[in-house]
Structure formats: structure tokens, C-alpha cells
Amino acid sequence: MTASQQPQRPARQENNGRPGRPVRQDRAAGRALHVPRIFGVFVQARNLDRSLSFYRDVLGLECDWKDDTLALLRSRGDGVRTLVIREIGERARHGLSEPGASRIAFRVTDAADLDRAEELLTQHAVHYHRCHDGDAAWLSMRDPDGLRVVLLHANEASLAAAPPPQLYWQE
């Protein structure tokens, strides 16, 4: 088959001003599994206690379980564990060129939460950046093993539209 005979890919369509294709919800609705929420994000850490201190003492997650290898955390007031930290020693690596998580984003519901987070990050000597783009504002930092962690505040209308631009960024 020559290049001129190969089927042409459809042009990318615009979705709320950003590149991408609209998602067709109706095709998969009848056969898709209903998954109401994420059970957990698994983070591999070089040192469990150091990472636990960051996620618990700086970001305010509550620890439900900890042993010598594993810690299970959740957001305050939420009964669902959302973060699992597993110590694997010096083998832990995080990078965009590798499969796996490259970033964890937590949503805060009040813009003042970003101010309070800045105070805590400063008290714990965690380097961070505060950014603003349209209706979204966020703090970006790294956990003790270098994994990018983002605290995002955005209104419902902006979250219901196309994804925020920062999801496309590679850091």
C-alpha cells in the first residue's frame, strides 16, 4: 500500500480552544464499568518516614496505617485512602521518560488553602512555585524523592471545560 493509498487520519478537532478530540461518552456507557473514585495512588519512596512526614506534616494527609514498608494516607475528613507510600530504598526513581506517575495533583476547595499551604511549605523549608492561569491557581513543589506535587484551586466551571493547560506541561 502506497502512502497515498493509506487511510487518512482525521484532523484533530478543537475542544474548548485546546487541541484534542471531543470524547464520545455514549459509545462506552453501556459496556463501561462504573468506578466511582480512585482507590489510591501508589508512590515508591527511598525513605518511608521522610516521605510520610512530607505528605502528613506538610500536605495534611492523615495516616491510617504504617508499618516498616508501607503507609496508607487519606485526606482529612475523607474515609477513603487515596495515597499509598511504599519504601523501596534507593531504587526509587521518578521521571517523565519512565512509565508511572510523573505528578500528583490535589484539589483544594478554597483559594485561602493555597495561602495556608504556602505558610506550611515555608515552615518546612519546601521549595515551591505559585502560579496563576485564568480561573486556576496552584502551588507546585517536589516530594522528598523528586515527584512533582501540585495543589490546585479552580472553580467548577473551569474544571468542567477543557483540561487546565498545566496538565499538558512536562516538567
Q: What is the pLDDT of residues 10-45, one digit of tens each?
A: 443 444 444 555 555 555 556 777 666 666 788 888
pLDDT band at 57 (very low <50, low <70, confident <90, very high): very high
Q: What pLDDT, on the 0 to 100 scale, is given for residue 44? A: 87
Decide which of 3.40.50.12780, 3.30.210.10, 1.25.40.10, 3.10.180.10 is the CATH code for 39-91+102-163: 3.10.180.10
Rg (CA), the chain: 19
Q: What pLDDT, on the 0 to 100 scale, is given for residue 1? A: 45
Domain ranges of the chain: 39-91+102-163
Three-state DSSP string of the chain? CCCCCCCCCCCCCEECCEECCCCCHHHHHCCCCCCCCCCCEEEEECCHHHHHHHHHHHCCCEEEEECCCEEEEECCCCCCEEEEEEECHHHCCCCCCCCCCCEEEEECCCHHHHHHHHHHHHHCCCCEEEEEECCEEEEEEECCCCCEEEEEEECHHHHHCCCCHHHHCCC
Q: What percent of the chain has pLDDT over 90?
A: 28
Q: What pLDDT, on the 0 to 100 scale, is given for residue 126? A: 95
**Given a cut of 50, is residue 141 above it in pLDDT?**
yes
Q: What pLDDT, on the 0 to 100 scale, is given for residue 2? A: 46
Q: What is the pLDDT of residues 123-139, one digit of tens each?
A: 999 999 999 887 888 99
Structure pTM? 0.68
Mean pLDDT value across residues 106-133: 91
Q: What pLDDT, on the 0 to 100 scale, is given for residue 12? A: 38
